[in-house]
Amino acid sequence: RQLSRPRPRYPFKIPATIYAQRLYTMGHTVPPLKDSSLFIEKAFVNGEFVTAQSGETFEVHDPASGKLIGTCPEFTAADTEKAIQAAKEALPEFRRTLGRERARMLRRWYQLMVDNAEDLATLITWENGKPLADAKGEVTYAANFFEWFSEEAPRVYGDTIPSSVAGNRVMTIKEPVGVCGLITPWNFPAAMITRKVAPALAAGCTVVVKSPGETPFTANALAELARRAGIPKGVVNIVTASKNVAEVGEAITTHEDVRKVSFTGSTNVGRLLMKQAASTIKKVSWELGGNAPFIVFDDVDDLDAAVAGAIASKFRSSGQTCVCANRIYVQRGVYDEFAARFVEKVKEFKLGAGFTEGITHGPVIHSRAVDKVHSHVQDAASKGAAVAVGGNKAPHLGANFYEPTVLTGMTRDMQLASEETFGPVAGLFPFDTEKEVVELANAAEVGLAGYFFSGNIRRIFRVAEALEVGMVGVNTGLISDVASPFGGVKQSGFGREGSKYGIDEFLTIKTVTFGGM
Ligand code: NAD
């Protein structure tokens, strides 16, 4: 559908009736937004919602129904340049604002997210597919980054340092790094953006966000809330692209005026962007792919808790989080019992569209993801794994649905052992010794999250220290928390988000030496 009808200039509002009717004619069963002006088919540059210079757009589809949600501007490098220019022009004034003033802006943005939580969750479910309850959880998690970093903004302290040179005095000042390019994935359409934007603004940086082509509408709603929160124009810009993503990405990562790139996404794209960012020696942080080991030792205190932890870690967002358990290693003494209870739980799942009452799991993002998931299952089955539940596409629900699947009798030569599946498939690997499983766990090239269940305190310390990952969950399957540093090691990248460390990614240290004192 070519949206060629004349568009009113911002501020505009799609009347709720037209919006509801549009949904109706498209056959959607999406609850209309309470505030329909949060549905915006534009990009956001210098405080205004804009189209691409070329007028080109790309389509965004509902992963559950496959139907068109709307379109967004297909930006080029030239459009992106304007956004970078806006961020550059806004920087001198914004970096001079008091930390407490920036804190108040972030706090207002936080409150607006809370006030509009239902609409934001609706947008997330619509374009990402996750169940509405999960989308609501994401909105809370995402908003928390604004609250958290509003509290960090006024507390950016430097040091006074005893000099080793007689007569000198030394102090440090922490300063915003400058214009930041932030590139985020579709799996958390709100939280991946706020986890970067909140510390950047708290530090006094201005930003150009490249929102994901699959989920631009949540990002645009956040931009509208930023405007309402009184964030000055040019401080937050959002560029949108699908076909032109490489061009837009290159414009951001090679631009002289962008001093920091923070990227969340796959390791392969991260590798490319790192090369591009090298051309102008930018400060960078990379939150890349994972392949989390989840280990159950036979000295576990509570096997049901281990099952629940594995279910939560593996199947959240239909297996599409970077910290999802990918390889579940279970010691032989509890393997059969664990597998039986795990399979029972998976059989209770209700697969369906995210807005449908009572469903527990939604679609995956697109048919390429379905194909990847299915190829991992077929590869494992062809090498001897047993399909205990699931194992098939679910076309009666839609093209992007895959049955929650459990594979038993997994071995290390199977694709799932070394590649991130990013879908609703749990592979259960038996193991014998702690040494063996730690080696298996660490064999991955990536190291984002790892989990294990054990009741032995000495083993808990040993294994937590031995796992080559950035985050370890001990006797829990859920580790994401605004207060905890989030990030990986090895090819999962570097840099930390959230926590007291997250703001450092957007600051530089200036040393001031006073001579002749
Ligand atoms: P992706 O790498 O394909 O895309 C991520 C983002 O990069 C998207 O906005 C995409 O449009 C953009 N992009 C793609 N090619 C680009 C290019 N050439 N230049 C600039 N931008 C480009 O990843 P995805 O499929 O959207 O997300 C899933 C991946 O993200 C998984 O590997 C997952 O583990 C990872 N992830 C990591 C974390 C983390 O915190 N470590 C969090 C969420 C997701």
Residue (of 292, 268, 319, 296) closest to 442 by Cα position: 292
Q: Ligand 1, closest atom to CA 493?
A: 41
The answer, yes or no, to whether any atom of ligand 1 lies below 6 A from the CB of 213, is yes
257-297 pLDDT, tens digit each = 999 999 999 999 999 999 999 999 999 999 999 999 999 99
In this predicted structure, what is the pLDDT of residue 24?
A: 45
Residue (of 187, 185, 250) closest to 211 by Cα position: 185
Q: Where do the DSSP E strands lie in 159-254?
A: 160-161, 169-176, 179-183, 206-210, 236-239
Sort residue 251 into left (φ over 0), alpha (ψ -120 to 50) or beta: alpha
The SS3 assignment for 70 reads strand
Q: Which helix (H) or strand (E) holds 106?
A: helix 99-115
Residue (of 344, 340, 459) closest to 404 by Cα position: 344
What distance in Å separates the CA atoms of residue 435 and residue 224, rounded to the nearest whole number? 52
Q: CB within 8 A of 345, min separation 6: which ones?
A: 307, 308, 311
Q: How far is the CA of 483 from the centre of ligand 1 (A)?
A: 23
Task: Kindly tell me if the per-residue pLDDT of 1 is higher than 50.
Answer: no
Task: Kindly tell me if the per-residue pLDDT of 496 is higher than 80.
Answer: yes
Task: Kindly tell me if the per-residue pLDDT of 2 is higher than 80.
Answer: no
Write out the catalytic residue numbers. Answer: 287, 322
Task: Kindly tell me if the per-residue pLDDT of 13 is higher than 70.
Answer: no
Q: Which residue has the tokens 């076909």?
A: 243
The SS3 assignment for 96 reads helix
- Per-residue tokens: 137: 């959880």
409-423 pLDDT, tens digit each = 999 999 999 999 999
The answer, yes or no, to whether any atom of ligand 1 lies below 6 A from the CB of 187, is yes
442-484 pLDDT, tens digit each = 999 999 999 999 999 999 999 999 999 999 999 999 999 999 9
The SS3 assignment for 253 reads helix
Q: CB within 8 A of 465, min separation 6: which ones?
A: none
Q: Provide the pairing of β-strand 179-183 with 206-210.
A: parallel
- Per-residue tokens: 218: 């949540």
In this predicted structure, what is the pLDDT of residue 15?
A: 46
Q: Which helix (H) or strand (E) holds 192?
A: helix 191-203
Q: What are the contacts of 301-307 at 24+ separation with CB within 8 A?
A: 301/453, 301/455, 301/475, 303/334, 303/337, 303/338, 303/341, 304/341, 305/453, 305/475, 306/338, 306/453, 306/475, 307/338, 307/341, 307/342, 307/345
Q: Which residue has the tokens 């985020």?
A: 184
The answer, yes or no, to whether any atom of ligand 1 lies below 6 A from the CB of 265, is yes
The model's confidence at residue 32, banded by pLDDT at 50, 70 and 90, is confident
In this predicted structure, what is the pLDDT of residue 399?
A: 96
235-257 pLDDT, tens digit each = 999 999 999 999 999 999 999 99
161-210 pLDDT, tens digit each = 999 999 999 999 999 999 999 999 999 999 999 999 999 999 999 999 99
The percent of residues in the chain predicted with pLDDT above 90, rounded, is: 94
Average pLDDT for the chain: 94
103-114 pLDDT, tens digit each = 999 999 999 999
- 75 alpha-carbon distance from chain centroid: 22
User: Global pTM?
Assistant: 0.94
Give the pLDDT mean for 32-55.
96
Q: Which residue has the tokens 């032995």?
A: 456
Q: Ligand 1, closest atom to CA 323?
A: 34
Q: Ligand 1, closest atom to CA 486?
A: 40
Q: Which residues pair with 507 in a beta bridge?
A: 176
Length of the chain: 517
Half-sphere exposure of 148 (CA within 13 A, CB side): 26
Count CB atoms within 10 A of the CB of residue 482. Answer: 23
Residue (of 441, 467, 460) closest to 301 by Cα position: 460
Residue nearest to atom 16 of ligand 1 (CA): 246
In this predicted structure, what is the pLDDT of residue 21?
A: 46
Q: Which residues pair with 414 in a beta bridge?
A: none
Q: CB within 8 A of 268, min separation 6: which ones?
A: none
Task: Kindly tell me if the per-residue pLDDT of 491 is higher than 60.
Answer: yes
The model's confidence at residue 22, banded by pLDDT at 50, 70 and 90, is low
Count CB atoms within 10 A of the CB of residue 96. Answer: 10
Q: pLDDT: is 14 or 379 the higher one?
A: 379
Q: How far is the CA of 411 from the centre of ligand 1 (A)?
A: 28
Looking at this protein, which amino acid is placed at residue 74? E
> DSSP alpha helices (H): ranges in 41-98?
77-96
Give the pLDDT mean for 37-51.
97
123-137 pLDDT, tens digit each = 999 999 999 999 999
What angle in degrees, to the nearest 10, is found between the helix axes of 434-442 and 457-466?
A: 30
The answer, yes or no, to whether any atom of ligand 1 lies below 6 A from the CB of 502, is no
Residue (of 159, 183, 140) closest to 481 by Cα position: 140
- Per-residue tokens: 200: 């950047």
The model's confidence at residue 10, banded by pLDDT at 50, 70 and 90, is very low
The answer, yes or no, to whether any atom of ligand 1 lies below 6 A from the CB of 212, is yes
- Per-residue tokens: 451: 């989990």
147-159 pLDDT, tens digit each = 999 999 999 999 9
First to last CA, the chain: 72
Q: Ligand 1, closest atom to CA 241?
A: 11
Q: How far is the CA of 423 from the centre of ligand 1 (A)?
A: 15
The SS3 assignment for 289 reads coil
Q: How far is the CA of 160 from the centre of ligand 1 (A)?
A: 40
Task: Kindly tell me if the per-residue pLDDT of 144 is higher than 50.
Answer: yes
Q: Which residue has the tokens 């193991």?
A: 431
Residue (of 255, 259, 285) closest to 270 by Cα position: 285
Q: Which residue has the tokens 């593996």?
A: 314
In this predicted structure, what is the pLDDT of residue 401?
A: 98
Q: How far is the CA of 370 from the centre of ligand 1 (A)?
A: 17
Residue nearest to atom 4 of ligand 1 (CA): 265
- 297 alpha-carbon distance from chain centroid: 30
Sort residue 85 into left (φ over 0), alpha (ψ -120 to 50) or beta: alpha
Sort residue 138 into left (φ over 0), alpha (ψ -120 to 50) or beta: alpha
In this predicted structure, what is the pLDDT of residue 30?
A: 67
Between the CA atoms of 161, 164, 165 and 167, what dihedral angle is there, to the nearest 10 degrees? Answer: 50
Residue nearest to atom 20 of ligand 1 (CA): 249
